Amino acid sequence: MKVVAVIGARPQFIKAAPVSRVLREAGHTEYLVHTGQHYDYGMSQVFFDELGIPQPDVNLEIGSGAHGWQTGQMLIRLEEVLMAQRPDWVLVYGDTNSTLAGALAAVKLRLPTAHVEAGLRSFNREMPEEHNRVLTDHIADLLFCPTQTAVDNLRNEGITAGVHLVGDTMYDAVLQFAAVAPQRSTILARLNLTPKGYLLATVHRPSNTDDPANLRSILAAFAEIEEPVIFPVHPRTRKQIAALGMDADPGPTANPRMIEPVGYLDMLALEQNARLILTDSGGIQKEAYWLGVPCVTLRTETEWVETVAAGWNVVVGADRARILAAVRQAQPPGERPTFYGDGRAAQHIVRILRSHDRG
């Protein structure tokens, strides 16, 4: 079986790593296309190095730009690649512009197309990801859902054919790498941190970064927290902090402690040892749950509703007072039910692809 996998942004490298490994171990051919959406070493190559993902067969080097330009450039280039490769399956991951471009290029060529992490919904059309998800789910042939909620969301939109509940490939990755992260990462020593003696924060959603009031409010909340707040800053966010005229490099003792984005093993080590995580990331909300760390979500809604129902995640938005109250009050329950599969989502995906393969 020959698969073309389309990836391009940080979370997609992590989502694809377990599937790539299983495909290759089973003797299938994976042709890996990197759209170039993310390109800094710390946003891209570090994940290939650390997760053992093979070098992409092609990097389209599209880079940053407006949504239409970026998605359009990807569509043009992906069509050429797919026409040349003619795979049995095209695999797309998550909800970025790379996801939509990959799915659209594939279905227009009538190539069988599968969406990993299908069925996620925020029901907020202000989010660019929501368009990408809805459109990709409505055109893909196979929909690999991480949760029962995702299956239900698809059913509510009339999609039942080709839907498979397989679990979350990010969970597969955490199970594989959480054990090695403490050995291979030295970040706690480098930042002079003690386990459970700090909080970890990430912010990159446009609703926070591109809204000056929200960005100021979040940074003000971080600054008021007494424990160190370790803040690996996404490049989008660094730009916007600078645009506000705020100091994006205020020094090693200021709160929040702004650092460059970190690799996956450093991130897992930081997550494992944080007392609490503040984030607007999708992936990090789940990682907090899997690692048993309370999470405060800096958004007005979440796709990962199970983490909230289980009491490990509170959704507070960008309001300074609400963020501070949530940090003070966070008290996770003992129980963490399994919502995200059996840690073998990648195996299930490859088995199902194989069973549908006409080649």
**239 binds ligand UD1 per the rule CB under 6 A:** yes
**74 binds ligand UDP per the rule CB under 6 A:** no
For residue 277, the minimal CB distance to ligand UDP (Å) is: 10
User: Which residue, 30 or 287, is less far from ligand UDP as judged by CB?
Assistant: 287
Residue bearing tokens 């990962």: 304
Query: Which helix H or strand E contains 222, and what residues bound it?
Result: helix 212-224
Query: How far is 168 from 43, CA to CA, in rounded Å?
Result: 21
For residue 63, the minimal CB distance to ligand UD1 (Å) is: 8
Q: Is residue 28 within 8 Å of residue 125, measured between CB atoms?
A: no
Q: Would you report the helix, strand and coil content of the chain in percent, each value rounded to 5?
A: 45, 15, 40
- Strand arrangement, sheet containing 257-259: 257-259, 229-232, 199-202, 276-279, 295-297, 313-315
Q: Which of 40, 61, 80, 342 touches ligand UD1 by CB under 6 A? A: 40
297 φ, ψ (degrees, to nearest 5): -95, 125
Query: Which helix H or strand E contains 16, and what residues bound it?
Result: helix 10-25
The Cα-based distances of 126 to 36, 42, 122, 300 in angstroms read 24, 28, 10, 11
Residue bearing tokens 């690692």: 291
Choose the contact partner of 276 out of ligand UDP, ligand UD1, none; CB within 5 to 8 A by kind. Answer: none
Span interacting with ligand UD1, options 35-43, 110-118, 146-154, 157-165, rule CB under 6 A: 35-43
Task: Please tell me which residue in 115, 204, 234, 348 is annotated as part of the active site.
Answer: 204
Taking CB under 6 A as the rule, which mask of x and - marks residues 47-86 in contact with ligand UD1?
-----------------x----------------------
Q: Which of 97, 136, 255, 272 touches ligand UD1 by CB under 6 A? A: 97
Query: Which helix H or strand E contains 76, and what residues bound it?
Result: helix 67-85
* Cis peptide bond prior to 256, omega within 30° of 0: yes
Q: Which of 8, 11, 87, 119 touches ligand UDP by CB under 6 A? A: 11
Span interacting with ligand UD1, options 37-45, 84-92, 166-174, 289-297, rule CB under 6 A: 37-45
Tell me, yes or no, if 348 is annotated catalytic.
no
For residue 44, the minimal CB distance to ligand UDP (Å) is: 11
State the helix-helix crossing angle for 10-25 and 169-177, rounded to 10 degrees. Answer: 80
Query: How far is 260 from 214, CA to CA, in rounded Å?
Result: 21
The Cα-based distances of 223 to 219, 232, 259 in angstroms read 6, 15, 15
Choose the contact partner of 37 out of ligand UD1, ligand UDP, none; CB within 5 to 8 A by kind. Answer: ligand UD1
**262 binds ligand UDP per the rule CB under 6 A:** yes
Span interacting with ligand UDP, options 65-73, 74-82, 276-284, 328-336, rule CB under 6 A: 276-284
Query: How far is 138 from 160, CA to CA, in rounded Å?
Result: 11
For residue 284, the minimal CB distance to ligand UDP (Å) is: 5
Binding footprint of ligand UDP on the chain (CB under 6 A)? 10-11, 14, 202, 204, 232, 261-264, 267, 281-284, 287
Enumerate binding residues for ligand UD1 (CB under 6 A).
9-11, 37-40, 43, 64, 95-97, 128-129, 204, 235-236, 239
Among all residues, which ones are annotated catalytic? 204
